[in-house]
């Protein structure tokens, strides 16, 4: 049963006024799955979530939840939860009452209500601040209240719009664990927007990369990390050097050409992560434009005839100075082979 | 330097705000035969006299009921209008906003005259109803403006959050919008009540032998009797206004959410 499609968007088109924000979106999420939605600012992630929640109307297309067409079902009858990017806490209610709001609407008896709201507050580590008003809480605390408020009613589908963006690294890990418990324990299906590639890969069963209102690629976390299909997805996954490929070689933004590695396909594109570029020997030459220290490693930005190349070396390796010409290699073995830029 | 200037400004504002009030109270408490400030000796005789004037009683009740009813009516209309203007892009909404937000486009006296000419005289609308219409109509812009201002401060997404937790749109309005604009509604109520209670121009044409409001009756009284009882009455009205604000503040615990 866990392979059944739980949420299905087909041909979903959304917009504001004359502007089309999302066009012909197809997407399915299986029951109990956690899917991460990744994409640059303004690509339509929030818009898509709002449509699934029923807060904006679809211009075209269908939304199905659990086999039922909910495209025209009002938002309050969808049983879809949303953690707002902006938190949207009720300013006149205490943290506890914010969390208890949905339980009160469901007429949950008082004893159970107090137990569940209390447990939700505890799960986000805020049981000590139950009586505070939202404006008396820090940004990260408000964000956790928003999370607890959406989780406590155990919706069929939970949409999370950058729910951990305002938390420090340690809290983020803790909250991630909490979300996973919720997903595994209660089997709640989740769609999760984040800007943090590592978070998406760590949490999600599958990752969707969106670009300008369309889906660029959907795959499980490991596949999308290792084998992005386009330059756009590759850049998102940390392949910072991307070149188009043809019979003549590798082409970048400067118009020049680098010789393609032996065995490369005749068309498409190739991409490398900084740690996949060999620095110090190889058939190509580049001039170091910038070097930046990043803890365990040093990142070098090289100007080459075809365009910039990002490489890195361990911090304990000998440093290269800015302006120096240095040989490098772009091996096929460490490249992602892309269909297009 | 700035601090001294600030103090001076506050002092000036206080003088202009409180000064006339003190003059009126003083004049009303005089022991002499004519209104005077500073009062010639202190006594409560003119305050007592107010209560003896038969012709003030009916108009006082009329003004009270009118101010209450007209303000409630203006809010009943104004709150939904303010809400719609702040939440939806309505056709003509911008024009309506400009109209409502421009200071008193139609002079109150014109409203009174228009109602008299077109409703009271030809259709026989009772004067009291016409008074109610005039007062309520003049208060709607206040209500929309003041309530609108507190709606502007309220994020629209809290209603969406309530809806997604299972509330209907109406329920969301009462559960999460209304409690957050209580301060605005109360402020609009106080403003409206006091402005209706003191309204002269709109009432001028709509009062007559049978029905009159307190300010109009005070004007009429002063035309033939020049004694300090009008000053005493003014002071009482001012104290009454303060009491309204105070009681409202207590009753609703306002400004907590503003
Ligand atoms: N209320 C609105 N009215 C008009 N245009 C809007 C509105 N909300 C969003 N847009 C536009 O729709 C597009 C998609 O916006 P959306 O909020 O879905 O982006 P996003 O992917 O969530 O971005 P971010 O990562 O910055 O949150 C953007 O171009 C945005 O400018
Ligand atoms: Mg967004």
Instruction: State the pLDDT confidence band at B123, using cuts at 50, 70 and 90.
Output: confident
Assign B258 to helix, strand or coil.
coil
For residue B80, the model assigns a pLDDT of: 93
Region B184-199: mean pLDDT is: 90
Distance A232 CA to ligand 1 centre (A): 19
The dihedral built from the CA positions of residue B199, B201, B206 and B212, taken in this order, carries a sign that is positive
Distance A55 CA to ligand 1 centre (A): 14
For residue A55, the model assigns a pLDDT of: 95
Question: Residue A69's beta-bridge partner residues?
Answer: A64
If you count them, how many residues does chain B have?
A: 258
Q: List the single range of A109-118, B34-43, B50-59, B249-258 with lowest mean pLDDT.
A: B249-258
Nearest to B164 by CA among B176, B180, B152: B176
Q: Which residue has the higher pLDDT, B222 or A107?
A: A107
For chain A, give the mean pLDDT: 92
CA angle (A59, A63, A66) in 5-degree steps? 170
**Cβ <8 Å between A76 and B158:** no
**Cβ <8 Å between B160 and A105:** no
Instruction: State the pLDDT confidence band at B258, using cuts at 50, 70 and 90.
Output: very low
For residue B106, the model assigns a pLDDT of: 74
**Cβ <8 Å between A92 and B176:** yes
Most confidently modeled range among A49-53, A201-205, B26-30? A49-53
Region A197-204: mean pLDDT is: 90
**Cβ <8 Å between B161 and A53:** no
For residue range A240-294, list pLDDT tens digits in order.
Answer: 999 999 888 999 888 888 999 988 888 899 999 999 999 988 999 999 999 999 8
Distance A95 CA to ligand 1 centre (A): 29
Residue A76: closest CA among chain B residues belongs to which residue?
A: B166
Ligand nearest to the CA of B157: 1
For residue B93, the model assigns a pLDDT of: 81
Please report residues of A whose CB lies closer than 8 A to that of B158: 88-91
Instruction: State the pLDDT confidence band at B256, using cuts at 50, 70 and 90.
Output: very low
Asked if residue B151 lies in contact with residue B84, where contact means CB atoms within 8 angstroms, the answer is no
Region B89-114: mean pLDDT is: 79
| Cα Rg, chain B, nearest whole Å | 22
Asked if residue A152 lies in contact with residue A180, where contact means CB atoms within 8 angstroms, the answer is no
Most confidently modeled range among A132-136, B11-15, B111-115, B217-221? A132-136
Most confidently modeled range among A93-107, A157-171, B79-93, B174-188? A93-107
Region A327-333: mean pLDDT is: 94
For residue A102, the model assigns a pLDDT of: 96
Q: Percentage of residues in chain B with pLDDT exceeding 70?
A: 96
Residue A103: closest CA among chain B residues belongs to which residue?
A: B165
Quote the CA–CA distance of B38 and B26 in Å, as a whole number.
6
Give ligand 1 pocket residues (Cβ under 6 A): A 16, 19, 21, 39, 41-47, 85
For residue B257, the model assigns a pLDDT of: 42
**Cβ <8 Å between B179 and A92:** yes
Please report residues of A whose CB lies closer than 8 A to that of B155: 86, 88
Asked if residue B206 lies in contact with residue B116, where contact means CB atoms within 8 angstroms, the answer is yes
Q: Which two tokens stand for residue A178?
A: 């909490």
Please report residues of A whose CB lies closer than 8 A to that of B167: 76, 105
Q: Which residue has the higher pLDDT, A58 or A341?
A: A58
For residue B125, the model assigns a pLDDT of: 81
For residue B252, the model assigns a pLDDT of: 65
Which of A14, A37, A42 best tests ligand 1's pocket when mutated (most atoms within 8 Å of CB)?
A42
pLDDT at B255 over 60: no
Assign B92 to helix, strand or coil.
coil
Distance A21 CA to ligand 1 centre (A): 7
Look at the block and give the residue holding tokens 């030459």: A285
Contacts with B127 (C-beta within 8 Å, 6 or more apart), sequence order = B120, B206, B207, B208, B210, B211
For chain B, give the mean pLDDT: 86
Q: Percentage of residues in chain A with pLDDT exceeding 70?
A: 99
pLDDT at B104 over 90: no
Asked if residue A152 lies in contact with residue A101, where contact means CB atoms within 8 angstroms, the answer is no
């Amino acid at each position: 049963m866990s392979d059944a499609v739980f949420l299905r968007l087909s041909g979903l088109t959304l917009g504001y006024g004359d502007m089309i924000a999302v066009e012909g979106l197809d997407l399915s999420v299986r029951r109990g799955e956690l899917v991460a939605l990744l994409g640059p600012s303004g690509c339509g992630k929030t818009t898509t979530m709002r449509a699934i929640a029923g807060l904006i109307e679809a211009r075209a297309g269908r939304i199905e939840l659990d086999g039922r067409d909910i495209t025209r079902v009002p938002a309050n009858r969808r049983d879809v939860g949303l953690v707002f990017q902006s938190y949207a806490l009720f300013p006149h209610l205490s943290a506890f009452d914010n969390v208890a709001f949905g339980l009160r609407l469901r007429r949950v008896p008082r004893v159970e209500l107090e137990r569940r709201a209390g447990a939700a507050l505890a799960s986000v580590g805020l049981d000590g601040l139950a009586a505070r008003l939202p404006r008396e809480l820090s940004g990260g605390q408000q964000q956790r209240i928003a999370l607890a408020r959406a989780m406590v009613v155990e919706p069929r589908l939970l949409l999370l719009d950058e729910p951990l963006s305002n938390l420090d690294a340690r809290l983020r890990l803790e909250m991630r664990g909490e979300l996973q418990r919720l997903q595994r324990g209660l089997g709640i299906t989740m769609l999760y927007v984040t800007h943090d590639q590592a978070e998406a890969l760590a949490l999600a069963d599958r990752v969707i990369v969106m670009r300008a209102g369309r889906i660029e690629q959907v795959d499980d976390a490991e596949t999308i990390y290792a084998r992005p299909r386009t330059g756009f997805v590759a850049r998102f996954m940390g392949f910072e050097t991307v070149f188009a490929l043809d019979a003549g070689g590798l082409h970048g933004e400067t118009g020049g050409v680098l010789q393609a590695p032996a065995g490369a396909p005749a068309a498409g594109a190739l991409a490398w992560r900084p740690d996949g570029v060999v620095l110090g020997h190889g058939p190509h030459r580049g001039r170091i434009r910038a070097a930046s220290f990043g803890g365990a490693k040093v990142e070098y930005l090289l100007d080459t005839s075809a365009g910039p190349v990002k490489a890195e070396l361990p911090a304990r390796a000998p440093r290269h100075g800015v302006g120096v010409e240095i040989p490098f290699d772009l091996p096929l073995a460490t490249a992602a082979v892309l269909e297009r830029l | 330097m700035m601090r001294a200037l600030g103090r001076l400004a506050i002092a000036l504002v206080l003088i202009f705000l409180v000064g006339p009030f003190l003059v009126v109270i003083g004049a009303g408490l005089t022991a002499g035969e004519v209104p005077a400030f500073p009062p010639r000796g202190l006594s409560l005789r003119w305050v007592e006299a107010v209560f003896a004037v038969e012709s003030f009683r009916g108009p006082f009740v009329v003004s009270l009921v009118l101010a209450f009813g007209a303000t409630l009516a203006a809010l009943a209309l104004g709150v939904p209008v303010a809400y719609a203007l702040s939440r939806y892009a309505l056709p003509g909404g911008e024009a309506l906003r400009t109209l409502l937000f421009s200071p008193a486009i139609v002079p109150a006296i014109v409203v009174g005259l228009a109602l008299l000419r077109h409703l009271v005289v030809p259709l026989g609308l009772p004067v009291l109803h016409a008074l109610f219409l005039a007062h309520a109509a003049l208060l709607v812009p206040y209500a929309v403006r003041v309530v609108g201002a507190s709606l502007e401060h309220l994020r629209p997404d809290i209603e969406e959050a309530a809806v997604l937790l299972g509330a209907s749109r109406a329920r969301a309005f009462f559960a999460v919008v209304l409690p957050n604009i209580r301060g605005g509604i109360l402020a609009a109520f106080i403003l409206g009540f006091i402005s209706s209670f003191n309204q002269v121009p709109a009432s001028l044409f709509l009062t007559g032998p049978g029905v009159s409001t307190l300010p109009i009756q005070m004007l009429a009284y002063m035309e033939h009797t020049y004694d300090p009882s009008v000053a005493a009455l003014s002071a009482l009205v001012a104290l009454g206004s303060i009491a309204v604000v105070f009681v409202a503040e207590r009753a609703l615990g306002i400004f907590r959410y503003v």
